[in-house]
A = this chain, B = another copy of it.
């Protein structure tokens, strides 16, 4: 389970020069701004580093901050009264946490194996968007992308078999990694089998069995527990049937 409270070392404001060389910049809201404008945002940002399993915020906490992920991975999840957990998403460098119409966080955010983030207070960001409407335009683009991703998640959960879901998951992670500049193959998995299971709505034993099955069918090679080689990307994407 998650450690509590969050460990937060390396906490300081940004100098704009750090923002200018930020590898996440072109993927997140900062990419919409010119260097002079970026200075306004950088003054509001707080850089924070989290260790494996550290909690950024709990479901139900007052939603006072929003986050740009700059390194590592963050897991968003909700837990039902019955104790079952749904992992809503895994966020990586360039991703944004904060789209919600509620005053409390509707999910818990935890660093998967460590993460770096850039934190803004909601109030500061609201003020910045009033001065720089470009930010809101970019946020709307990002929110639209999140909606598309959520709808793909819905379709996968509703219509796919266990093996199809796992294939789609691997293809998605590969594409996300490619967007971030890597080759996307082999796929590196920072999360556990249980995390994957709770993202895909299945039991973790079934995840294990599906990895074994996809490997026996030659679609993937499990190079190590957290490194999966996709032997034929097109075949795997085709098998996943997710358009």
Task: Let me know if A88 and B242 touch, CB within 8 A.
Answer: no
Distance in angstroms between the alpha carbons of A75 and B141 in the assembled complex: 23
Chain B residues with CB under 8 A of A133: 133, 136
Task: Let me know if B158 and A81 touch, CB within 8 A.
Answer: no
Contact with B along A1-34 (1 / 0, CB 8 A): 0000000000000000000000000000000000
**Closest residue of B by beta carbon distance from A107:** B151
Contact with B along A76-93 (1 / 0, CB 8 A): 001011101110100000
Interface hits, A194-243 → B, CB 8 Å? 198-201, 241-243
Task: Let me know if B100 and A147 touch, CB within 8 A.
Answer: yes
A143 at the interface (CB under 8 A from B): yes
Q: B81, B84, B143, B198: which contacts A99 (Cβ < 8 A)? A: B143
**Closest residue of B by beta carbon distance from A136:** B136
Q: B86, B100, B136, B159: which contacts A154 (Cβ < 8 A)? A: B86
Chain B residues with CB under 8 A of A78: 151, 155, 243
Given A137-B136, A147-B150, A243-B78: A158 in contact with B201 (beta carbons within 8 A): yes
A9 to chain B, nearest CB (A): 31
**Closest residue of B by beta carbon distance from A152:** B106
**Closest residue of B by beta carbon distance from A146:** B147
**Closest residue of B by beta carbon distance from A158:** B201
Task: Let me know if A148 and B243 touch, CB within 8 A.
Answer: no
Distance in angstroms between the alpha carbons of A140 and B81 in the assembled complex: 30
A139 to chain B, nearest CB (A): 6
Chain B residues with CB under 8 A of A201: 157-159
A188 to chain B, nearest CB (A): 24
Chain B residues with CB under 8 A of A127: none
User: Among A78, A140, A158, which residue has the most Cβ atoms of chain B within 10 A?
Assistant: A158
User: Among A84, A137, A146, A159, which residue has the most Cβ atoms of chain B within 10 A?
Assistant: A159
Return the 4 tightest CB-CB contacts between A and B, nearest first: A158-B201, A150-B150, A157-B157, A143-B143
